[in-house]
Amino acid sequence: MSTMDSIIHINYVSLILVFLISTVMATSIGINYGQIADNLPPPEKVVPLVKSMGATRVKLYDADPHVLKAFANSGVEFIVSLGNEYLSDMKDPAKAQAWVKTNVQAYLPATKITCIAVGNEVLTFNNTALSDNLLPAMENVYAALVSMNLDKQVSVTTAHSVAILETSYPPSSGAFRRDLVSCVTQVVDFHCKTGSPFLINAYPYFAYKADPKQVQLDFVLFQPNQGIVDPVTNLHYDNMLFAQIDAVHSALASIGYKNVCVQISETGWPSKGDADELGATPDNARKYNCNLIKLVSQKKGTPLKPNSNLNIYVFALFNENLKSGPMSERNYGLFKPDGTPSYPLGFAGINAGVSTNSSSGRSPATGSGSTTPTSWSPQDGSSSPGYMSITSNSGGVLFCWKSWILQLHIIVGSILLLFSQL
C-alpha cells in the first residue's frame, strides 16, 4: 500500500471514528435550574456541575442575572422564563420590549439564550383572566424579539400541564378539554407561525401515585413489561410517557395540527415522599431517569411518531427545600444542595461542601436577584421547578454507565474491523 493510500485509509478511519463517537455523544442534556431554596450553591459553583454532566441546556423559571452572567461564554443554551404574574404586564408592548431588552438582549451573545417560556401551565389554573393574557403576552414578546432582530435565534413558547387533555387513553383517543380547545388552538397557531415547539409537562409518577393497584410500576419506570396495545392504531406501548406524548399528538391532530413539534418540558420522579406517596424512592427515581436517558439515547421516537426527534426535559437540578406541598415536591432533584447526587446516575457531582447562596446576597425564594419592578424579572414562585433536557440531535452526554459501556464496545469493534481492512 502506498503512502497516499495509507493516508486516505487513515483519514477514512478518522471520519468513521468521528461519526461513531458523535453517535454515542448524541444525547445532550439540559437541566432546569430551579432555586426555591435557601441552601443552594451560588451560580459560579453550579457551572462546573452542569459541565461535569455534559449538560448543554439549562432552563430557568425566571431570568436570574446572576445565573446568566455566571454561564456567559460557557456554550450552555438557556431558556429564560416569564412568570405567570407578569403576563398582564406583557400585554403592554412597551413593557414586553423592556423585558426582552433587559433580560435577553443584554446577555447575548455571551450567554446563549435560545428560548423564552411565557408562563407555565396557565390554561389549567382555570383563571379566565390569566388565560386571556397568555397569547397577547406571547405575541408581544415575540414582536419585541422581531424588532431587535432576535427572532431567528430566540423562540417564544409556553408550557402546558398534561391536564389540558380531557382524554389520554388509549393514545389515539387523545383530546383537549372542550373548554380549552379555543385557547389551545390559538396558541398552536402561534407556534406554527413562529416555528416554536408545543410544550407539555407529563408525570407518569402522578398516575402511579393516584392508582398504584391499576397502574403497573414497571410500565411507568420503563422496565420490561407486557405493555398495552392501542385498539385503534394497533401500536404497542411499553411505557406510559410515550403513550402520553402520542395522546398529545392525537389531540393536536384532532384540532387540525398533525405536524406540530411536541416537547416534554417536565418529567421526573421524586426520590422521597410522604407516607402516602407510594413509589417516591431513590431506587424508583434512579430507574425512571436512567431508563429514560438510555431510551432517548437510542434515538427512537414514539410509536406514533417513530422518526420524530425526542426533546424531553427531566425535572430537576437540585432538591429545593422551600417548595410548598407534599414532601415529594422538595425531592425531585438529581443533586442535593451540596452537589452530591441524590442517587446513582453515572456522574459524580461536584465536591461536597460548596458554598451556599447565603454568601451571594440573593433572595433564596425567588432566585431572580432583582427587586426593582423596572427590570421585569419574574420570580420562581409561580411556576413549577425545572428539568433536564435530553435531545437526540446535539452534543453532550449523560449515560447510565452500562449503556455507555455497551456503546463503547460497539465503537471499539467497529474500529478493529476498519483497521483489519487496511
Instruction: Please tell me the distance from the alpha carbon of residue 319 to that of residue 329, in angstroms, as a whole number.
Output: 8
Q: In Å, what is the CA distance from 349 to each residue of 18, 32, 77, 210, 315?
A: 28, 16, 20, 33, 16
Q: How many helices (DSSP H) and strands (DSSP E) are in the chain? A: 11, 13
Instruction: Determine the straight-line distance between the first and last CA of the chain, rounded to whole angstroms.
Output: 9
Q: Which residue has the cell 407510594?
A: 278
Number of C-alpha atoms within 13 angstroms, CB side, residue 73? 0
Q: How far is Cα 263 from Cα 308, in angstroms, rounded to an integer?
A: 10
Is-cis flag, bond preceding 170, omega within 30? yes
Is-contact 81 34, C-beta < 8 A? no
| Distance separating alpha carbons of residues 120 and 338, to the nearest angstrom | 28
- Three-state SS for 202? coil
Pairing of strands 236-237, 228-229: antiparallel
β-bridge partners, 87: none
| C-alpha distance from residue 384 to each of 60, 224, 278, 335, 399 (Å) | 10, 30, 21, 17, 26
Cα pseudo-dihedral 46, 49, 53, 58, rounded to 10: 0
Q: Which residues participate in catalysis according to the annotation?
A: 121, 266
Question: What is the spatial distance between Cα 264 and Cα 266, in angstroms, rounded to a whole number?
Answer: 6
CB atoms within 10 A of CB 4: 8
Radius of gyration, alpha carbons of the chain: 22
Distance, in Å, from the CA atom of 327 to the CA atom of 273, rounded to the nearest integer, reads 5
Strand-pairing partners, residue 159, are 120, 199
Nearest to 319 by CA among 282, 370, 277, 275: 282
Can you say whether residue 7 is alpha, beta or left, with left for phi > 0 and alpha for psi between -120 and 50 degrees? alpha
